Amino acid sequence: MSNKIKVGIIGGAGYTGGELIRLLVNHPSVNIQFIHSSSNAGNNLCEVHTDLIGDTDLKFTNELNDDIQVLFMCVGHDDARKFLSANSIKDSIKIIDLSQDFRLANSSSLDNRTFVYGLPELNKKAIVSANNIANPGCFATAIQLGLLPLAKAGLLANIYTTGITGSTGAGQSLSASTHFSWRANNISAYKTLQHQHCNEIHQSLHQLQATFPCLYPFGSVGGNGWRRETLGAG
């Protein structure tokens, strides 16, 4: 137990938090110290994440414990920065943020913390020594893995990309386009040419190829599936 990494999770009741818990709860090198959720404090994890029945007896809490080595932020966009601004986290604690708050270079710092963009295929060396990591977005990860080899070779020209996401990509908040009757046997475009992941994709490609004619359009599409497979918030 003493050799295990002590981990805390903020925002553990959402879809991203649930995926992270599933990865960590039985990990041989991790000990989850607490899972924070202001709306579910005191409830068993299994009441929210029913697929964890039999795997853990942990309960959600609304209290913080600084006896950890790594803190995962699984809250919504803009909420990670707000949470870290409002709560004092020891400098010795490493932070991995799964929102978009710190992905771009011009917004990657908060007080004495600076976040490294956490795509291993691009920033492996920086990630190894980083104390703060901004996890890439889901669309951004998939698109970059396809385009970065071209950028490294200086071959990027006019590019068109389309990404299809499942309903969990929109989070737990209800809307007309997340209902089964809308999604079943259907795909529909949203945030066309202005998806929030465009900027981080553009930033990464420019690390490897200084100039290229045009990256976009990027067509983001809501699909007939339910699950988003990459562990990064939208």
133-152 confidence digits (pLDDT tens): 999 998 899 889 999 999 99
Token pair 């553990």 in the structure block, residue: 12
170, 168, 173, 162: which is closest to 228 by C-alpha? 168
Token pair 């200086």 in the structure block, residue: 154
184 and 169 fall within a common domain: yes
Beta carbons within 8 Å of 24's beta carbon, 6+ residues apart:
7, 9, 30, 32
Residue 6 has pLDDT above 90, yes or no: yes
**46 within a domain of the structure (yes/no):** yes
64 and 23 fall within a common domain: yes
117 and 173 fall within a common domain: no
Q: Which of 115, 134, 153 is the last residue of a domain?
A: 134
Contact call for residues 5 and 30 (beta carbons, < 8 A): yes
Each residue's pLDDT tens digit, 24-82 = 999 999 999 999 999 999 999 999 999 999 999 999 999 999 999 999 999 988 999 99
122 and 149 fall within a common domain: no
Residue 228 has pLDDT above 50, yes or no: no
9 and 118 fall within a common domain: yes
Identified catalytic residue from 46, 74, 138, 214: 138
Q: Which of 117, 134, 151 is the last residue of a domain?
A: 134
Which of 85-89, 129-133, 210-214 is the least confident region? 210-214
144 and 120 fall within a common domain: no
Separation of alpha carbons 197 and 183, rounded Å:
22
**233 within a domain of the structure (yes/no):** no
Whole-angstrom CA distances from 120 to 3, 64, 134 are: 25, 29, 11
28 and 106 fall within a common domain: yes
Domain count, the chain: 2
Highest-confidence range of 78-87, 158-167, 194-203, by mean pLDDT? 78-87
Separation of alpha carbons 75 and 4, rounded Å:
25
Separation of alpha carbons 200 and 133, rounded Å:
14
167 and 148 fall within a common domain: yes
**164: domain CATH number?**
3.30.360.10
126 and 144 fall within a common domain: no
Which of 62-66, 167-171, 190-194, 209-213 is the least confident region? 167-171
**102 within a domain of the structure (yes/no):** yes
Mean pLDDT for all residues in the chain = 85
Each residue's pLDDT tens digit, 100-128 = 999 999 999 999 999 999 999 999 999 99
**228 within a domain of the structure (yes/no):** no
**pLDDT of the residue at 230:** 41
pLDDT band at 214 (very low <50, low <70, confident <90, very high): low
Separation of alpha carbons 135 and 118, rounded Å:
5
Q: Which of 134, 166, 194 is the last residue of a domain?
A: 134
Give the domain extent around 53.
5-134
**18: domain CATH number?**
3.40.50.720
3-state helix, strand, coil in the chain (%, to 5): 30, 20, 50
Residue 211 has pLDDT above 80, yes or no: yes
99 and 175 fall within a common domain: no
60 and 99 fall within a common domain: yes
Q: Maximum distance among all alpha carbons in the chain?
A: 54
41 and 100 fall within a common domain: yes
**pLDDT of the residue at 180:** 64
The verdict on whether 46 is a catalytic residue reads: no
**pLDDT of the residue at 15:** 86
